[in-house]
Amino acid sequence: DTEVTQTPKHLVMGMTNKKSLKCEQHMGHRAMYWYKQKAKKPPELMFVYSYEKLSINESVPSRFSPECPNSSLLNLHLHALQPEDSALYLCASSPVGVGGNQPQHFGDGTRLSIL
């Protein structure tokens, strides 16, 4: 078990559905991240939130909409996804700071399949 909790663990949805992925951490981290990971590939950064504000959007299509309602929660709203969006979606958190050892703590991910 990790200190970053993601729900659901698995999600199957059609291309017209709307669903949300949820991420929660209680380590007091003020930076939170969404990554997309395809099989045998490294995690690809999607979004970074710092102090609940979106600081980085890696040119992600608008069918993915992030939301950070408070310092412990991070959501990813999904709408009109494509089959190629099927992947493992990882949430991570870390302290915010210029330097120092600030590794990201990852959740177990949500395995998303688009039919």
Partner 1 sequence: GQNIDQPTEMTATEGAIVQINCTYQTSGFNGLFWYQQHAGEAPTFLSYNVLDGLEEKGRFSSFLSRSKGYSYLLLKELQMKDSASYLCAVRVRGGNTGGFKTIFGAGTRLFVKA
Q: Looking at 31, 60, 73, 80, which residue binds partner 1 (CB under 8 A)?
A: 31
Of positions 44, 52, 60, 80, contacts partner 1 by CB under 8 A:
44
Instruction: Give whichever of 80 and 88 is closer to partner 1, judged by the CB atom.
Output: 88
CA end-to-end span of the chain: 29
Q: Are 39 and 90 in contact (CB under 8 A)?
A: no
State the Cα–Cα distance between residues 114 and 96, nearest whole angstrom.
34
Cα Rg of the chain, angstroms = 14
Q: Which stretch binds partner 1 (CB under 8 A): 10-18, 44-52, 60-68, 76-84?
A: 44-52
Q: Which of 12, 15, 56, 115 binds partner 1 (CB under 8 A)?
A: 56
Q: Which residues contact 57 (CB under 8 A, 6 or more apart)?
A: 46, 47
Judged by CB under 8 A, does residue 43 bind partner 1? yes
Piece of 12-20, 60-68, 73-81, 92-100 that binds partner 1 (CB under 8 A): 92-100
Please report the sign of the dihedral spanned by the C-alpha atoms of residue 108, residue 80, residue 49, residue 55: positive
Site of interaction with partner 1 (CB under 8 A): 2, 4, 31, 33, 40-45, 48, 50, 53, 55-56, 58, 90, 98-109
